[in-house]
């Protein structure tokens, strides 16, 4: 009997089994490419123009600048819709500022803005497009905020309000809760606007239906340079108003005469904040603004809320957005809500006693000091410079 046979079962050991050969892992299947979903459109970008007493509003020219960039990326046309009465010259101006085609609705009932007639004419026009235009843009003004949602509701399309940036890009919809919408959407309108108290930017998309719509803040987009050599088409469109469009009648329009330069059009804005200490401080700022040919004063929200100056001077998230050549911030701390309204100015000069004030983060030049010491010295030097320039000019004339 062998030695193994004499061992008890408890002491016997099984001979080691040969190790099994490692099995190669099965290759993971490649994910299926997302189907491309193209919502039918004619790639046309359309701007709804605003005019008051026949004058094209600045926000419209800004929208044409933004629309030109979007149309180039889409490979489509840039058009404009103009409603009013006796506006042939205004239509030509839109072409000079970049529109390739102007849809002109000329009718006495459209001379002044009213919601229902304007909505009727615009929706009638857009229904003639087959497929619909890709993008529709309006200003985030009193008129635009009233008209845009009515157009969007009519076409059951999305609308993003108060945008500060616009772009074109793709979007992949992967949410399986909407299986019919799964896929890649190329050429979406990226409507970008501040959120969470201006601390973040939200990119909002609505590719399901065209036209994709947005309104933009006045003062944030850059218009194209006027070019009288630009040519385009002016196409008159029919105006077919219905009885229900006359439910509102304008009895009288009272326009307040402005004694100051419009904030949107000023070359120099001298803005005051809570650091001025009271409404009297704005008298000093008015004197500084008067040193410039096209200067005007502005204000932060806190001083407006304190009643130091009327609301029409307010700059910021809940006021106006400005883009002057020079912005002088006097006693303004620089809260993010204020910075969003002025940070795209050509040259920003900040004057504040607090060296750590946030306004210095966006300023090109900063002066740490008391406004009531710095500003009088600025005024003195500016006036001295003017006198010197006038004297030199007179000498040249005599020679």
- Which has the minimum average pLDDT: 35-44, 272-281, 323-332? 35-44
Q: State the first-to-last Cα distance of the chain, in angstroms, to the nearest integer.
A: 138
Q: Is the pLDDT of residue 133 over 80?
A: yes
Q: Tokens standing for 86?
A: 């006796």
**Is there a contact between 176 and 228 (Cβ–Cβ < 8 Å)?**
no
Outline where DSSP puts E strands in the chain: 45-48, 51-52, 55-56, 78-84, 101-106, 135-139, 159-163, 165-173, 183-195, 200-204, 212-216, 233-236, 268-272, 295-299, 326-330, 347-352, 365-368
Please give the pLDDT value at position 32: 65
Indicate the SS3 state at residue 352.
Answer: strand
Phi, psi of 315 (to 5 degrees): -120, 135
Indicate the SS3 state at residue 355.
Answer: coil
Q: Is the pLDDT of residue 340 over 90?
A: no
Q: Is the pLDDT of residue 111 over 50?
A: yes
Please give the pLDDT value at position 16: 58
Query: How many CB atoms sit inside 10 A of residue 252's CB?
Result: 4
Q: Is the pLDDT of residue 360 over 70?
A: yes
Gap between the Cα atoms of 326 and 391, Å rounded:
26
**Is there a contact between 329 and 348 (Cβ–Cβ < 8 Å)?**
yes
Phi, psi of 262 (to 5 degrees): -60, 130
Please give the pLDDT value at position 118: 97
Gap between the Cα atoms of 81 and 64, Å rounded:
11
**Mean pLDDT confidence for 53-70:** 95
Q: How far is CA 14 from the centre of its chain?
A: 80
Please give the pLDDT value at position 175: 85
Model pLDDT for residues 287-324, shown as the tens digit of each residue: 999 999 889 999 999 999 888 998 889 998 778 889 99
Phi, psi of 36 (to 5 degrees): -90, 125
Please give the pLDDT value at position 382: 92
Please give the pLDDT value at position 389: 57
Work out the pLDDT band at 390, boundaries 50, 70, 90.
Answer: low
**Is there a contact between 120 and 241 (Cβ–Cβ < 8 Å)?**
yes
Model pLDDT for residues 1-60, shown as the tens digit of each residue: 444 444 444 445 555 565 555 566 766 666 667 778 877 788 999 999 999 989 999 999
Model pLDDT for residues 174-229, shown as the tens digit of each residue: 888 888 888 899 999 999 988 776 667 889 999 989 999 999 988 889 999 999 99
**Mean pLDDT confidence for 145-150:** 96
Residue from 323, 304, 341, 59 nearest 194 by CA:
341
Q: Which domains does the chain have, with CATH numbers?
A: 45-171+184-246 (3.40.50.620), 263-391 (3.40.50.1220)
Q: Is the pLDDT of residue 387 over 90?
A: no
Q: Which residues contact 28 (CB under 8 A, 6 or more apart)?
A: none
Q: Tokens standing for 332?
A: 């303004």
Please give the pLDDT value at position 14: 56
Please give the pLDDT value at position 41: 81
Q: Which residues contact 351 (CB under 8 A, 6 or more apart)?
A: 328, 329, 330, 331, 366, 367, 369, 371, 374, 375
The whole-chain average pLDDT of the chain stands at 87
Between 12 and 242, residue with greater pLDDT: 242
């Amino acid at each position: 009997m062998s030695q193994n046979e004499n061992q008890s079962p408890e002491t016997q050991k099984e001979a080691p089994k040969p190790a099994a050969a490692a099995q190669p892992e099965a290759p993971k299947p490649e994910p299926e490419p997302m189907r491309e979903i193209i919502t039918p459109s004619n790639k046309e970008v359309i701007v709804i123009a605003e005019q008051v007493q026949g004058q094209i509003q600045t926000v419209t020219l800004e929208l044409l600048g933004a629309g030109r960039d979007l149309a180039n990326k889409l490979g489509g046309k840039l058009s404009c819709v103009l409603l009013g009465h006796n506006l042939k010259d205004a239509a030509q101006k839109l072409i000079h500022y970049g529109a390739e085609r102007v849809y002109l609705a000329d009718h006495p009932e459209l001379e002044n803005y009213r919601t229902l007639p304007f909505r009727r004419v615009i929706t009638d026009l857009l229904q003639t497009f087959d497929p619909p235009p890709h993008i529709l843009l309006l200003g985030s003004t009193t008129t635009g905020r009233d008209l845009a949602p009515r157009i969007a509701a009519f076409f059951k399309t999305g609308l993003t309000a108060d945008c500060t940036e616009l772009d074109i890009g793709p979007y992949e919809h992967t949410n399986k809760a909407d299986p019919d919408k799964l896929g890649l959407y190329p050429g979406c309108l990226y409507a970008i606007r501040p959120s969470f108290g201006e601390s973040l930017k939200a990119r909002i998309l609505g590719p399901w239906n065209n036209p994709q719509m947005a309104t933009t803040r006045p003062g944030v987009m850059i218009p194209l340079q006027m070019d009288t050599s630009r040519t385009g088409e002016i196409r008159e469109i029919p105006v077919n108003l219905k009885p229900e469009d006359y439910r509102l009648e304008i009895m009288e329009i009272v326009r307040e005469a402005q004694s100051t330069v419009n904030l949107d059009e000023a070359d120099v804005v001298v803005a005051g904040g809570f650091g001025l200490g009271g409404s009297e401080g704005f008298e000093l700022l008015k004197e500084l603004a008067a040193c410039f040919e096209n200067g005007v004063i502005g204000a932060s929200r806190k001083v407006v809320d304190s009643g130091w100056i009327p609301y029409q001077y307010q700059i910021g998230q809940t006021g106006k957005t400005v883009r002057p050549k020079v912005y002088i911030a006097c006693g303004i701390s620089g809260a993010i809500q204020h910075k969003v309204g002025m940070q795209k100015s050509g040259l920003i000069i900040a004057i504040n006693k607090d060296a750590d004030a946030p306004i210095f983060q966006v300023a090109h030049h900063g002066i740490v000091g008391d406004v009531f010491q710095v500003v009088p010295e600025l005024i003195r030097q500016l006036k001295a410079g003017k006198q010197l320039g006038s004297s030199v000019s007179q000498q040249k004339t005599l020679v």
